Amino acid sequence: METTQISDDAVAVMYGTVDIHGNPADRKKTGNWKACLFILGSELFESLANCGMSTNLVNYFVDRLHEGNATASTNINNWSGTCFILPLLGAFLADAYWGKFRVIAIFSMLYLLGMVVFTLSASVNGLKPSCSADGCHPTTPQIGVAFISLYLVALGFGAYEPCFSSFGADQFDETDDKERNKKSSFFNWLYFTSNVGALLGSSLLVWIQNNVGWGWGFGIPTIAMAIAVVLFFCGFRLYRFQKPGGSPLTRIAQVLVATFTKIKIKVPHEKSLLYETADAESSIKGSRKLEYTHELRCFDKAAVPIDSDNIRGTPNPWRLCTVTQVEEFKAVVRLLPIWATGIVFSAIYSQMSTMFVLQGNTLDQHIGPNFKIPSATLLTFDILSVMFWVPVYDLIIIPAFSRLTGHERGFSLLQRMGIGLLISIFSMVTAGILEVVRLDMVKKHNYYDLKTIPISIFWQIPQYFLVGCAEVFICIGQLEFFYDQAPDAMRSLCSALSLTAMALGNYLSSLLVTIVTDVTTRDGKLGWIPDNLNRGHLDYFFWLLTVLSVANFLAYLWIAKWYTYKKVTASQA
């Protein structure tokens, strides 16, 4: 995309960005890294809260809510999926009506409220399940309070998350070369900061949950979330705000309706014959004009003017759309196949909080004779991998490859995500090999009823480390790709798309577990994933995910080959 270098003396940020008072944002006083320090600080504590709440949740469901392995795994996947499908709601409200700041403010409060109630359900007598030597015995109301509070967390997190990353990126003006490069680095460091918080959440807080108690284990993340909310509001005078552009779903519907009503109209070869406003600015509030592209030409019918398109001399938006509006729709359509390829990786990612933890429960968790490491704490090696690879990628790989390829960021975003998908295949292969070795020892030594097999849990490190490496390439690449390729007035919505891939990945994992359990437990068989994994075949489940990952990677290569990048008109680039 072409850019224009703006003088340091320029005051207003381009294409409608304003300050907290609604005035054009002063480039020297708002935005940039000074505003993002509050955003990164808030992200640190929010990720600590989120990871501290969710990392060990499968064990809470098994130990306190008295669920089996398959049921607990399914419930966690469904909850996680809901967390990542609700971003569509927050993104729609942000892009259409409220703006990102207001959505973050409202839903962060709901997020915090849900965490408070869930902490009370795990710590207050009457709300928490009663436990004795023969296990815990939760009542239906107690289970209900726990699930209601968790889904309130899902609502708050879901609406908050896509707006937060997109709002942070809004602090950099992509029409300025210097700020555009800083924006690209922002996504890397946002993810790095998120993982610093997650490191504390998946190590120290998991230990507290297992050794001190669930009340403190969930109470500390709740306090962290309160700090995150306060930090975010502290920076409000420094932020840049983009005005909402009206309902993106309405604009999409208008293109579809206009196309359908003109289904028999032939699209002219000359793009100058298509309808576009004469003004330099787009008719869509807060959005720049987009250049015409030749792909998906069937939707160009919506921009072909005919006599019946006008009502009292004014174009009917349900009959005639501008080229920019049509191109906005095309940009979203082009994103969908790329988005779909992220679903299988998300299913792999979800294994770290479900099957990897259950596999780790069967391994020797001791460090020395007296200290025992919780299996969920192994997630720290995924986080350490991310914390290792983010600075290596941003400070070493990008400069090195930019000199070789001539690309300013070393790789294109599509290449970056493809590398991540390839690495994710090896993470599943590694997990499968470890399970084969574990089951071979069980069979060889008749360890079927042994709770822990004499194999160190640290043999799980490679699979966590590889998932972390894949994250740096895929997840950060998706954050930047969906923000960069989204039309200006749809950025929250398109950022939410990358998160809904996480949702569908969790649902896919849940569906696979349900199908596998149903199919493999027929005729009295124990199945692949019984409560006693020594008598199951978890390795088969990992091989199934490996096959899906290979097929997904091949599909991605074909899709990426034909992708066309968004182009802003030269006068506004």
pLDDT value for 3: 41
Highest-confidence range of 135-139, 237-241, 432-436, by mean pLDDT?
432-436
Share of the chain above pLDDT 70, in %: 93
Structure tokens at 196: 């610093």
Mean pLDDT of the region 477-489: 84
What are residue 26's DSSP bridge partners? 12
Q: How many Cα atoms occupy the beta-carbon half-sphere of 346 within 13 Å?
A: 26
Report the Cα 236 to chain-centroid distance in Å: 24
Calculate ∠ Cα 552-557-560, nearest 5°. 115
Q: Which residues contact 189 (CB under 8 A, 6 or more apart)?
A: 40, 390, 394
Mean pLDDT score across all residues of the chain:
84
Confidence (pTM):
0.77
For residue range 346-399, list pLDDT tens digits in order: 999 888 878 898 899 899 988 877 788 888 778 888 888 988 988 888 888 888
Residue 73 reports pLDDT greater than 90 = no
pLDDT value for 41: 92
Share of the chain above pLDDT 90, in %: 27
pLDDT value for 40: 92
Q: Are 452 and 513 in contact (CB under 8 A)?
A: no
Residue 111 reports pLDDT greater than 80 = yes
Exposed e or buried b per residue across 472-505, where buried means at least 16 C-beta atoms within 10 angstroms of its C-beta = bbbbbbbbbbbbbbbbbbbbbbbbbbbbbbbbbb
Structure tokens at 313: 């001399």
Of residues 409 and 563, more confidently modeled: 563
Mean pLDDT of the region 289-305: 86
Residue 84 reports pLDDT greater than 90 = no
Q: Which domains does the chain have, with CATH numbers?
A: 17-244+341-561 (1.20.1250.20), 254-283+288-328 (no CATH)
Calculate ∠ Cα 479-246-5, nearest 5°. 55
Residue 8 reports pLDDT greater than 50 = no
Helix axes 214-234, 100-123, angle to 10 degrees: 160
Helix axes 140-169, 69-85, angle to 10 degrees: 40
Q: Are 509 and 347 in contact (CB under 8 A)?
A: yes
Exposed e or buried b per residue across 175-189, where buried means at least 16 C-beta atoms within 10 angstroms of its C-beta = bbeebbebbbbbbbb
Mean pLDDT of the region 75-96: 83
Name the phi and psi angles at 208, rounded to 5.
-65, -40
Distances in whole angstroms, Cα of residue 437 to Cα of each of 176, 440, 537: 54, 5, 12
For residue range 540-559, list pLDDT tens digits in order: 999 999 999 999 999 999 99
Highest-confidence range of 108-112, 385-389, 407-411, by mean pLDDT?
108-112
